Structure formats: C-alpha cells, structure tokens
C-alpha cells in the first residue's frame, strides 16, 4: 500500500496534479527503491535519503544523484537517440581508427624505404629528392665533366650528357668560370629543369661578416681575396660572355663562401642577358641598399648598375657591416673628412704588412669609384679586375689617407 501511494503521488506530480501531503510519518520515510517509478519526486519526499529512490530510472527532481526534471525532459530524448545511434557503431568506429593508424604506419615505413632507395631511384621525385646524392651522381656520370661527355659549347657555358644510375639521361649546362660558384650548372630532363650548386659550408658573406667568431677568422688577406674573386667573376660575366650577363642582385647575401672562405658569386635567378637591340628595361630587381639610384628611376639594367653594387659590397667587406652611413655622407659635397683607418673593421688589428695595406687602399679607392653618381664615370669590371691584380696606388699609410682624397684619385 505504501509503494502504491508513493507511485500515485509521484505520477500525479508529473501530470501537474497537486497532491496533498500525506500525514502518515511512515509514508514520508518509506523506501521506494527498485519500483520502476516515473515522474518528479514530490517536495515532501525530498528529505528521504537518496538510496530510497535507487532503481527508478524515470525519477527526477532536486534530490542528490538525480537530474532536475527540466534537464531530464530537455536532454533525455536526444541522449537516448544518441545512445541508440552510436552504441551499435562503437565497434565499427574503433575498428576504423585502428585501421587508419595501421595505414599511417605503413605509409611511414614506405616513405623510409623510398628515401633509402633514392640513391639509385627516381632522383627527380619531389618526395625523395636528395641534392647531395644527385650532385654526386652527376659528377660520377660525367667523370667530373670530362671532355668526352661534352656535347656542346657556348659563349659562357658547356653542355654535358649524363646517364644517371636509374637510367635517366639528362643534359647539364655548366658555367665556365670558377668563381661564379664552383660547379654551378643547370639540369635539363623531360621532367624538370633546375640549378645545382656545390655546397658552400660557410654560407653567405653577409652572415660571416656578422658572426663574431667567423668575422675574426676572415682576416685582411682573406677579405682582399674575396673582393678580387667577386671582381673576376663579374668581369667574366660582363666581358667574356656573349651576350653579356648582368647579375641584377649583387649583395653580400649572394656571395657564398666555401670551407676555405673562398668567395663565389651565386643566385643566378635574377641574371639578365644584355641585348644591344633591346631596351633592357626590367622590373626592379636587387637588394635594398645595393641598388644604383639610376636603376630606381629608369628601370633600365646596365653593367654600371652591377658595378655600383660591387662597390657597396667591397666597402662592406672592409667595414664589416653595410656602409649605409658612409654612402649618405658621400652623397653630400660638404661631407666630413673621414680617414680610411676609421672606417675599417675595428675588431681586426690594423695590418702591418705593407702589401696588405696597399691592397686595402686600392680596394677602397676602387669601391669609391664604383659608387660615383654618374654611371658613365664608373670603371668597368674588366678594368677593376686588372687593377686589383697589379697596380699599386699611392704610398701612404692607413692613418694618412682620407676618403675624399681617394675619391679624387685619377686612377680611372
């Protein structure tokens, strides 16, 4: 009878019928567990211990362990529907995830196998391409560019035929000059065309100049040799190639150093062949701080633009940093009288060897001539290359010669 009354009371509360509170104390303290009851637990029963309602899935109300009736009515249908949908799918979902993990693992193993096979596999695949292996294969295939593999020669390059270990035959176009980055060449195949360069261990001149340890290792002799190497490379491009080749982005970032700190001109992505029958007008190329002013205004690329950039690089080698402030002072006719010794890299001891001193003065004089505002008054790269190999300028010390004095030299 107690259970029946409780069921009726709870059912009535759920239907909105207000029941009077029973007066029987035994009813108020009754145990209603496991009776399959449904509805809201009446207010007068909420003081009963929660265990007295256990086993009645349909009950709701403000009793510990039960949802409020609002939450139950709002969430229950969707929750039950979700359980009905996803519970049968759980084994399938788990199996799918497990299979996907196995698939990824298998692909990872296959990629490793492909990479290991790259040495004699498809060297032109993007996924397993190894530049060092390809470079070594090309060297082996041509016996380091032996004449027997040469199939053509141009004004500034030679073309070689090479058969790779996987049977592919490619044509290699190699630049002649040793200081336009040693062993720089273009690879042609039915699939692609790209440049290959010998790896330069020390990276760019820009980075070496700004590294405290490497900059010290770059002594005055090595710095002079870097300037000479760049000058010889540019002279070759301008005067020994037909048509002339203009590198439109000469900067310390595009001069690479090998393990012996020898310099090579790199990044031929911006080169242009000078055609006397065309305007040579171009979209602006180059690095800010190295571009000649006339190129900004006219957008016409000439060898004189490259010579200006070379002058900036030469001063950067001497100073250890970009000569931005010095360039500004040079643009003023009433600039201060700066002594050469004051602009040299301060962390290196001033040279005492007379030949090195004269080389520094010569490089400084040439660099300043390259920076002249009138392009026609700048020397050619051929003349610069020749001067660097022979002529000795004025017999003065570094502390005795000034920047204005070197600018007024009639060397060119």
The H or E element containing residue 161 is strand 157-163
Q: Is 218:169 a contact under the CB 8 Å cutoff?
A: no
Choose, from 157, 249, 267, 359, the residue flagged as catalytic. Answer: 249
Q: Is the dihedral of CA 321, 322, 324, 329 positive or negative?
A: positive
Q: Dihedral (C-alpha) 148, 154, 160, 161: value to the nearest 10 degrees?
A: -100
The number of C-alpha atoms within 13 Å of 157 and in the hemisphere containing its C-beta is 17
How far, CA to CA in Å, does 391 sit from each of 118, 214, 333?
Answer: 52, 30, 28
Scanning 240-272, the segments in alpha helix (DSSP H) are: none
State the distance between the two ends of the chain, measured CA to CA, in whole angstroms.
Answer: 124
Element housing 157 (H / E): strand 157-163
Three-state DSSP state, 139: helix
Distance CA 159, CA 262 (A): 26
DSSP 58: E
- Give CA–CA dist 52/351, Å, rounded: 100
Our CA angle for 296, 407, 219, nearest 5°, is 90
Where does 240-302 have alpha helices with state H?
Answer: 293-298
Q: 174 — phi, psi (to 5°)? A: -110, 130
- Is 267 catalytic? The answer is no
Active site residues: 249
């Amino acid at each position: 009878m107690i259970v029946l009354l409780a069921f009726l009371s709870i059912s009535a509360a759920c239907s909105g019928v207000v029941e009077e509170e029973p007066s029987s104390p035994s009813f108020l303290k009754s145990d209603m567990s496991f009776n399959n009851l449904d509805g809201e637990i009446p207010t007068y029963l909420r003081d009963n211990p929660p265990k007295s309602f256990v086993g009645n899935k349909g009950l709701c109300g403000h009793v510990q362990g039960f949802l409020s009736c609002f939450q139950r009515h709002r969430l229950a249908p969707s929750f039950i529907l979700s359980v009905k949908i996803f519970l049968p799918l759980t084994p399938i979902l788990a199996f799918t995830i497990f299979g996907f993990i196995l698939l990824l693992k298998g692909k990872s193993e296959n990629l490793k196998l492909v990479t290991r096979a790259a040495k004699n596999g498809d060297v032109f695949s993007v996924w397993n391409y190894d530049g060092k292996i390809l470079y070594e294969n090309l060297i082996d295939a041509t016996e380091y560019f032996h004449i027997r593999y040469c199939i053509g020669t141009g004004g500034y390059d030679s073309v070689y035929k090479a058969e790779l270990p996987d049977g592919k035959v490619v044509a290699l176009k190699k630049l002649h000059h040793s200081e336009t980055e040693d062993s720089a060449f273009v690879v042609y195949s039915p699939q692609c065309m790209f440049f290959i360069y010998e790896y330069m261990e020390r990276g760019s001149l820009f980075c070496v100049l700004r590294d405290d340890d490497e900059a010290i290792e770059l002594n005055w002799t090595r710095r002079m040799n870097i300037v000479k190497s760049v000058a010889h490379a540019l002279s070759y491009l301008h005067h020994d190639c037909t048509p002339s080749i203009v590198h439109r982005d000469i900067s310390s970032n595009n001069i690479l150093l090998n393990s012996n700190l020898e310099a090579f001109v790199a990044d031929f992505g911006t080169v242009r062949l000078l055609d006397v029958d065309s305007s040579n007008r171009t979209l602006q190329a180059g690095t800010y701080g190295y571009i000649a002013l006339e190129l900004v205004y006219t957008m016409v690329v000439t060898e004189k633009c490259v010579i200006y950039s070379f002058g900036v690089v030469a001063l950067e080698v001497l100073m250890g940093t970009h000569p931005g402030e010095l360039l500004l002072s040079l643009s003023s006719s009433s600039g201060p009288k700066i002594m050469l010794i004051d602009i040299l890299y301060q962390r290196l001891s001033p040279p005492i060897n007379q030949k090195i001193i004269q080389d520094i003065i010569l490089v400084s004089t040439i660099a300043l001539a390259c920076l002249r505002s009138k392009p026609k008054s700048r020397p050619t790269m051929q003349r610069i290359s020749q001067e660097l190999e022979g002529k000795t300028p004025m017999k003065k010390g570094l502390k005795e010669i000034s920047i204005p004095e070197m600018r007024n030299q009639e060397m060119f």
